[in-house]
A and B are shown apart, each in its own frame.
Chain A
Amino acid sequence: MSGAHGRPAVERGRGFEIVLIAVYALFALSATARSVTQILRDLMAAPVAYSLSLLAAVTYIAVALALIRHGRRSSLARALCLVELAGVLVVGTLTVLDPQLFPDATVWSVYGQGYGYVPLLLPLVALAYMALAGRRAERPEERAR
């Protein structure tokens, strides 16, 4: 390994960011697999639910890529996390108010109940972490956390 020779700070150690990336990548993988099999099998069984599953999958992929490429201080990652949070809240509320619209579950059904509510917590944790990282950005001796 070449160590710290002229590498940007993000390359030396990502800190907590690596955990976020891992969890987002995992959700990207499982949500994509789930929605693609659902859509290929029978899209018409629950068109709204399956389309929203695909939307969730795309959002997770986008956040994971934004974090990998641009790190915790990128405004793109922050904006995508806000989209994700809005998605979880809107879809979660819709599944509670109008269950008929969702004959089959999505990742975001009832605020991510099927996934231990991690889909609801994940954007909140990510946004809080990004806000803290942005505030600490000015200090030169920042230890990645």
Chain B
Amino acid sequence: MTVLSIAVTLIGGLTALAGLYYALRDLSADLVLLGLCALLVLGWMALGIALGVEDLAGGGPPDRVTLYGYLATALAMCLGGGWAGVFERSRWGSVVIAVVALVSLVLLMRLHQIWPGGFA
């Protein structure tokens, strides 16, 4: 779990930096940035599945609805950001991906507060 959490943090940070770099250079999202965004989606999926398995194994989270609500929000948000990056062919598509990646980091931090035991 800690490994996945670190992975999502690294991918999220990298995606945010790349998105900002693209925006500063006036570039629309290409396959590299979209690939990073897709990797972020996969990271969230893996983390969600891992937390779900941990939940099933017993000793679940104190607040299930909030936990899965956050996971679903993170996943939907990253998918939506990638979608905007595909269809908005300007620097602003890259900005959306950067924003989504930054919010991913915040959501991950909140997940650790919601269920500290899940990441132990």
Q: B96 to A18, Cβ gap below 8 A?
A: yes
Give Cα distance in the complex from A23 to B95, angstroms.
11
Interface size band for A: 10 to 19
In the complex, the answer to whether A13 meets B69 with C-beta atoms within 8 Å is no
Residues of A within 8 A of B93 (CB): 18
Main secondary structure of the interface of B (DSSP, over half): helix
Interface locus among A25-33, A75-83, A105-113, A132-140: A25-33
**Chain A interface helix/strand/loop/mixed:** helix
- With contacts A19-B99, A37-B69 taken as known, whether A26 is within 8 angstroms of B77 at the C-beta atoms is yes
Q: Which of B66, B76, B81, B90 contacts A29 (CB 8 A)?
A: B76
Query: How many B residues touch A, CB cutoff 8 Å?
Result: 19
A18 with B66, Cβ < 8 A, contacts A23-B99, A25-B80, A30-B73 known:
no
13 CB-based A-B contacts, threshold 8 Å: A13-B90, A15-B90, A15-B92, A19-B95, A21-B84, A22-B80, A22-B96, A23-B99, A29-B73, A29-B77, A33-B69, A33-B73, A37-B66
B residues lining the A interface (CB < 8 Å): 65-66, 69, 73, 76-77, 80-81, 84, 88-90, 92-93, 95-96, 99-100, 103
